[in-house]
Chain A
């Protein structure tokens, strides 16, 4: 059997699958190696009793519609998979609860409607809200331009078209929100969206945050009918149809070099596959720290990795309830439960074991047929900052600890919304940072890649991407990369890494 390939992709997560599909479409001979027995990484599903749970997807952003297509729509169109997927648009709202202040804010999608409603909650915020969305839209467009131009900033072009973006480009969310003279309450409500990124207002780059928030409110979200796993399986299927190979239950042990050049990979089972190019869907921490022999790792790669901070660890609860969403009073697709509306205080809380905030999604309110009649699928996603969860676990207390954290989160949801769900739990699965570590091998069960903070925010990452290509013919994709974590980001990261690899290959021809 021929074991030589043009490119080996390590990991069949969102990024790896998109990268592989693009490369096979460009006529390259591609091998994808995946540890699990199914594609998708976090983009998967699982069955308990009569429920099929979504493992991770909350919001598929940047999809939009045919009329108002997002980046993801265009990517899927380019990959030729658009008409093979079915999505439900979510007629949702942004609904935030604060336990401490005992208030909730329910804001609709659509920029105008959002601003209008916000002005009802916080009278007098109209002017600052208008400015915020202007700035957010400009940030979105400027970042799009940067993405298309691979991080090159043409100062004159930017000054002419994105001058406000330039002015705020180095500032945090908190700083820019204050500069808009936005009332504190309105600032806090919007900034509470930080829980989807894992970095608080005092650390997170405004342009990154605002562009995501703008996309979320203006383009809405979509949910695939058969869970995100449907997308994973489709991507894998397309890769194989076009002659690419995917080997499951195949864990890479080492990236092989010959005279400083990548020549292939060695698997745990002793098999060797040859390729000059590698795209890694595995984190740089694991690649530079484990998969590449120490002498082969450039000093700068070590230093870069050591300069970064691991982002949020995941904690998820999957509930199959034996009542319909309507009967339970679950009206929304998504609820954001916070102890504190203030993002920095909330961030502090989430580094404590007793933290109880979460984002709660009700799948049936996106796809009414996702479970049997008279039942509901509810998913909680909580975050732990730092390794507090792992540090508190030992062999004996693990299962109790999981239950305790889950109970805190469910109680907090019930208290905030007044909706009682506990007596109706027919199926429950709890995923701790350890569970995420098991399925992804990510360091310490991180789900959001490296933390977006300081010079590791989106813009510095984008502007430095060409300088940080430390090992010839090794490219990265996934949630640890330039565009940070999240479904659309990781799919798009695959696109970027495929382009980079194709460029690397062109270099060889010349």
Chain B
């Protein structure tokens, strides 16, 4: 049925024949200048999320008996001109070759994002017993040493559309780093929140950044820091543990809790926060390794298939597949080291494993993908890295 269409000419039905010619004409009339490929959006995108950043250690600050801060600046000779901006609370992953191993570790950027605009990051590293990388940093790294780091990563930051403006930070030990960054960001006018930091440590000598935190608190009524020492009684700090009674006076109608520290700290803080019966949205955790029951120390074979070759290494039932690969110098992609970011996602070809799979996507789970950084072997295992 031919429709009557007002204003459409009869001859329009022939027009389709000329579309091709008309298009050709437009093409032929168009510019033959080189195609524009330098788009602002892509350049900015690369500046916020560079694939890698080359840095060198510009300074080393001794914070206390077991902690040092490393000041990182661009390694311009190696091609990095600017460091990427970040949100306070984010981390970078740093690649560290030690012996025959190649390790990557996530460290929170401990300074204000304003420092990034001046081409500087700081990371603050505490010595861990048997920690290969932390011991290397504390004992061996010198000013001038160069490293490869990732772009800033992670979701442990204040998000105004989600979080309350009154933020209570619960920091356990070295978990203070993101909150120093946040406090400095408040000082620099980058972050518009009220921040109260409860900083728990064993003894006074374990506290880091104390002078800087006190200074920040003195100068801004938006920042407050309360120190709680479990193993020592001194003036100007509280003694014991972070409890509901200590927190209560700082609560407002709406308060968001940000928690960062070792596993034991999370567990005890969860007990405290339970008493508030808060919806999930008001409690943010930095990415961390959940509790996992591991079997006795068994040594298994781990076969790793990469793009070019295969490796056969051993892996203990008490270490992650990624740790085993790092120790043996098998280069595998990784960033967060706690199973969250998915960058190390690999295919489990065979074997039995114990794994945190909360952050693995449903379709990936069905297809036997795992995050090697959060997976322990329970038999001989074969995995295939992304390739």
Contact = CB atoms under 8 A, between A and B. Distances in A.
Contact of B41 (A180, A294, A387, A460): A387
A135 B6 CA distance: 14
Given A37-B333, A396-B85, A403-B160, A306 B32 contact: yes
B36 to A, nearest CB: 7
A464 B20 contact: yes
Contacts of A454: 26
Contact of B26 (A49, A233, A237, A455): A455
B130 interface: no
Given A37-B343, A226-B363, A303-B31, A437 B23 contact: no
A164 B2 contact: yes
Contacts of A313: 41
Contacts of A398: 44, 48, 85
A56 interface: no
B5 A180 contact: yes
A159 B13 contact: yes
A266 B188 CA distance: 45
Given A289-B35, A390-B41, A398-B44, A135 B16 contact: no
A163 interface: yes
B281 interface: yes
Size band of the B side of the interface? 35 or more
B16 A153 contact: yes
Interface string B141-162: 0000000000000010001111
B56 interface: no
Nearest to A384: B41
B35 to A, nearest CB: 4
Given A48-B155, A407-B161, A170 B3 contact: no
B361 interface: yes
A226 B367 CA distance: 12
Interface in A223-239: 226-227, 229-230, 233-234, 237
B32 A167 contact: no
Given A306-B30, A460-B19, A444 B39 contact: yes
B34 interface: yes
Given A170-B16, A233-B364, A179 B37 contact: no
A459 B19 contact: yes
Contacts of B16: 153, 158, 166, 169-170, 459, 463
A390 B40 contact: yes
Contact of B19 (A47, A247, A455): A455
A167 B386 contact: no
Contacts of B17: 153, 155
Interface string A222-261: 0000110110011001000000000111100000000000
A395 B117 contact: yes
B50 to A, nearest CB: 10
Given A48-B155, A426-B162, A426-B279, A167 B359 contact: no
Given A164-B3, A170-B19, A1 B41 contact: no
A75 B361 CA distance: 26
Interface string B25-56: 01111111111110111101111110000000
Contacts of B35: 285, 288-289, 297, 302, 305-306
B7 interface: yes
Given A163-B13, A249-B333, A403-B160, A52 B362 contact: yes
A467 B8 contact: no
A445 B43 CA distance: 11
A427 B161 CA distance: 9
Contacts of A286: 37
A387 B39 contact: yes
Interface in A258-286: 285-286
A155 B160 CA distance: 60
A438 to B, nearest CB: 4
A237 B369 CA distance: 12
Most A CB contacts (10 A, CB to CB) among B6, B19, B33 go to B19
Contacts of B333: 37, 249
A38 B333 CA distance: 13
A463 B19 contact: yes
A116 B41 CA distance: 45
A434 B292 CA distance: 38
B275 interface: no
Contacts of B100: none
A304 B10 CA distance: 31
Interface in A423-446: 424-428, 433-435, 437-438, 441, 443-445
A335 to B, nearest CB: 19
Contact of A396 (B42, B46, B117, B387): B117
B34 A171 contact: no
Given A169-B16, A170-B16, A460-B19, A444 B42 contact: yes
A8 to B, nearest CB: 15
Contacts of A248: 386-387
Contacts of B42: 437, 441, 443-445
B133 to A, nearest CB: 23
Given A166-B13, A170-B16, A233 B3 contact: no
A443 B39 contact: yes
Contacts of B3: 131, 134-135, 164, 167, 180
A403 B158 CA distance: 11
Nearest to B84: A395
Given A403-B160, A460-B19, A168 B45 contact: no
Contact of A422 (B6, B15, B161): B161
B327 interface: no
Contacts of A322: 279-281
14 contacts: A38-B364, A167-B13, A169-B16, A170-B19, A290-B37, A303-B28, A322-B279, A390-B39, A393-B44, A398-B44, A426-B281, A434-B44, A455-B22, A463-B19
Interface of B: 1-3, 5-8, 10, 12-17, 19-20, 22-24, 26-37, 39-42, 44-49, 85, 87, 117, 155, 159-162, 190, 279-281, 307-308, 333, 342-343, 345, 358-364, 366-367, 386-387
Given A306-B36, A443-B37, A445-B41, 19 more contacts: A164-B1, A167-B3, A179-B5, A229-B361, A229-B363, A250-B387, A294-B34, A304-B27, A396-B85, A396-B190, A403-B159, A425-B161, A428-B159, A428-B161, A435-B45, A443-B41, A444-B40, A455-B19, A467-B20
Nearest 8 A/B pairs, CB to CB: A289-B35, A307-B30, A444-B41, A390-B41, A166-B13, A289-B37, A426-B281, A444-B39
